[in-house]
């Protein structure tokens, strides 16, 4: 019986450690392909695209195109890798009636940030790090839904979205165009 218990615990440990994985979303918001080496795997990311790489948790090595080497202990399940060192804007998008919009509780604090050389104030954050733990709902070039279902016990919900520079510029241009059409 004791051997069976030890064998069961050993099997459970082996199978549970085999199922843990880390997903890397290697993003490239630029107009040119970007190459990165993850350990020994060479990854070419096409322009304005993302390539997913699955690996085990633990220490891994990233080598950028400029031969910079980054060693990192990956412990979370999903990371976004930014080999181009591009700037990204993180925004908290509100879904609910206008009556609650001024008093809603954002997941991002309201502050002043600089993105693409512009100072903006609101529930934003900016990052340009190579390794970023994914804490958002929608990544670069993923479209936010027009409408979301809000739980019956809540008045509103929020979704966190990451914008690359091209997305942000297009969003601002579309807002300007629709404002100009109204006048």
Phi, psi of 5 (to 5 degrees): -65, -45
For the record, the structure tokens of 163 come out as 């914008």
Portion of the chain with pLDDT greater than 90, in percent: 71
Q: What is the pLDDT of residues 143-183, one digit of tens each?
A: 999 999 988 888 899 999 999 999 999 999 988 888 777 76
| 23 confidence band (pLDDT: 50, 70, 90) | very high
Q: What mean pLDDT comes out for the span 100-106?
A: 85
Say if residue 28's pLDDT is above 70.
yes
Q: Could you please report the per-residue DSSP string of 143-164? A: PPPS--PPPTT-S-EEEEEEEE
- Closest-CA residue to 45 (of 36, 57, 54): 36
For the record, the structure tokens of 143 come out as 């479209």
Which segments within 56-177 are labelled E, that is strand?
58-63, 69-74, 78-81, 88-95, 110-115, 118-127, 131-133, 157-164
pLDDT at position 139: 97
Q: Are 79 and 23 in contact (CB under 8 A)?
A: yes
pLDDT at position 105: 82
Of all residues in the chain, what percent are helix, strand and coil, respectively (each to 5)? Answer: 20, 40, 35
């Amino acid at each position: 019986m004791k051997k069976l218990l030890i064998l069961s615990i050993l099997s459970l440990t082996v199978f549970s450690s085999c199922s843990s994985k880390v997903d890397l979303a290697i993003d490239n918001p630029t107009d040119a392909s970007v190459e990165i080496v993850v350990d020994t795997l060479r990854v070419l990311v096409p322009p304005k695209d993302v390539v997913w790489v699955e690996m085990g948790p633990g220490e891994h090595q990233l080598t950028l195109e400029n031969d910079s080497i980054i060693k990192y202990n990956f412990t979370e399940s999903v990371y976004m890798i930014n080999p181009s060192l591009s700037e990204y804007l993180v925004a908290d998008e509100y879904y609910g009636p206008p009556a609650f919009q001024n008093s809603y509780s954002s997941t991002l604090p309201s502050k002043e940030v600089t993105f693409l050389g512009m100072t903006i104030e609101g529930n934003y954050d900016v990052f340009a790090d190579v390794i970023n733990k994914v804490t958002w709902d929608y990544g670069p070039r993923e479209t936010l839904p027009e409408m979301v279902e809000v739980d019956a016990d809540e008045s509103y919900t929020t979704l966190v979205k990451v914008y690359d520079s091209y997305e942000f510029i297009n969003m601002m241009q579309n807002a300007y165009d629709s404002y100009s059409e109204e006048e």
